[in-house]
Amino acid sequence: MKKYLYLLFVAVLGGAIALGGAKLLQEEDLGRFDDNPVTTAKFTNYTSPSYTTAVPSEGFTTAAERVLPVVVHIRASKQVENSGRQLDLRNIPAPFRDFFERQGPQGQAPGGDQMQQGTGSGVIISSDGYIVTNNHVAGDASELQVTLHDGRVYDAEVVGADPSTDIAVIKIDDAALPHINFANSDDVRVGEWVVAVGNPFNLASTVTAGIVSAKGRSINILQDQAPIESFIQTDAVVNPGNSGGALVNLNGDLIGINTAIASPTGVYAGYAFAVPSNIAAKVIKDLKEFGVVQRGYLGAIIRGIDGNFAKENDLSVNEGVYIQELNEDGAAAAAGIKPGDVVLYVDEMQTKTSSALLEAIGRKRPGEEVTLTVLRNGNEREIDVVLRNREGTTDVVKKGTPAQALAAMGATFETITKEEARAEGIDGGVRVKAVGPGKLAQQTEIREGFIITRVDKQKVTTKEDLIEKLENVEGGLLLEGKYPGQRRNEYYAIGMQ
């Protein structure tokens, strides 16, 4: 008994010593921070959240259930000349090469050519079989195969494609198909939840979720003479094969077409970009109606404004779009816009950046009128502008016309003078004044200054001759000419399909 009482005494004594030591240590620790006592104060900008969870209570199931049946898998095949080299990847911008899942050559096509294959995604937009996808997925495909969510397989044909926005429309032969509803992408807010649906790595019907990270993002990837980049940026996971898939809100309505990723590795690294649904809707309507996009142009060289540029140019605003130069036959010049003007609004749409201005104008057709609110000499004024096409008219651009072929080449041309022709020992010709994104840059190594003297072996001496030769071009054309001071002729073949 004495032994147990002794053990109890020792235990109580040990506990008392431990508590006393802890109290002593606590007092010493608190004493070190007497100058910064703990309080219950909060930052003045702190507010209690009005929601109980960051994720919607029903999760993302509503969006997934509505969208999965309308997202398709696309297998695209392209006939490649068997010249001992692989497909020229310059035809696909670098970010797209990673996003559009390519597969190797798949045997021989008639004539010994190879078939290059790749896979992507698409979204059914109408019950009668119209599907929207990316231009870099289907735009120049010779064969298309579409697999629906339920496993049905169809051959598809290209209705039209638009390199300026990287949107293409294809069609399958069926009716009573499920299709997606479009949302107003202008209403999308940074920070809201979104869902991406596509077919990455050939994994059919994959759903991921994230938030809108930014809007109106331009990343300089579209290889066209007049690209329109105003992407929705999201952190929803997308990967190779997601090209052309759907980006939707929590209701399952389309807000964008997934188009590119920014990645040092070729797979998802936190940044994905989608063409806003409002841009896609306009392009789709034009492609279905005309086969080619009817796009209005201001006819101006523009640039965005930041604090440094505003200071250098003595501007009173740090946001907006600065008019640097005007085309003589452009819509802006005809309306009275002047170099140095700062565009603040197009109609009621604020244009803080160049991408916002390009998006606003790109939604319009030649002949349509817009009201620009510009800042000139510190004063705001409204100017009505009737938009024109690339050729400086308000005419409808038809598929296969010289204007479309000329635009597709992605270069500007001018007739050489009689003195220049005499110095070169030729009757006349058309100089390549500038080479921009387009078929000339993608398919040839033609340089600025090249003088075209023949097209498909027929003589051309003026720019008008060149345009006339493009009127009924089919398949491709052969350019013949010379560089200034050079005796021998050079030849460049271009595929126009």
Residue ranges at the known binding site: 136, 166, 241-243
Which residues fall within 8 angstroms of residue 182, CB to CB, at 6 or more apart? Answer: 125, 253, 254, 277, 281
DSSP H helices, 291-417, are 307-312, 331-335, 354-362, 402-409
Catalytic residue among 185, 213, 243, 355: 243
Cα(102)–Cα(81) distance, integer angstroms: 17
Catalytic residue among 98, 162, 166, 253: 166
How wide is the angle at C-alpha 169 spanned by C-alphas 280 and 231, nearest 5°? Answer: 30
Instruction: Give Cα separations from 251 to 48, 164, 377, 475 (angstroms).
Output: 26, 29, 46, 44
Q: Do 249 and 236 contact (CB within 8 A), yes or no?
A: no
- Tokens 């200054």, located at residue: 449
What distance, in Å, lies between the first and last C-alpha atoms of the chain? 105
Task: Reply yes or no on whether 149 is catalytic.
Answer: no
Q: Do 489 and 482 contact (CB within 8 A), yes or no?
A: yes
For residue 405, the tally of other CB atoms under 10 A from its CB is 20
Cα(264)–Cα(272) distance, integer angstroms: 13
Q: What is the DSSP string of 378-407?
A: TEEEEEEEE-B-TTSS-PPPPTT-HHHHHH
Task: Reply yes or no on whether 128 is catalytic.
Answer: no
Return binding residues for substrate: 136, 166, 241-243
Cα(390)–Cα(377) distance, integer angstroms: 30
Burial degree of 368 (CB within 10 A; 0-12, 13-18, 19+): middle
Which has the closest alpha carbon to 435: 423, 448, 422, 445?
448
Which has the closest alpha carbon to 294: 363, 372, 370?
363
Tokens coding 397: 């651009």
Which residues fall within 8 angstroms of residue 96, CB to CB, at 6 or more apart? Answer: 134, 136, 166, 221, 243, 259, 260
Task: Reply yes or no on whether 243 is catalytic.
Answer: yes
Instruction: Give Cα separations from 157 to 143, 145, 152, 161 (angstroms).
Output: 8, 9, 16, 11
Specify the pairing of strand 206-217 against strand 300-304: unpaired
How wide is the angle at C-alpha 436 spanned by C-alphas 430 and 442, nearest 5°? Answer: 95
Catalytic residue among 136, 164, 179, 213: 136
Catalytic residues: 136, 166, 243
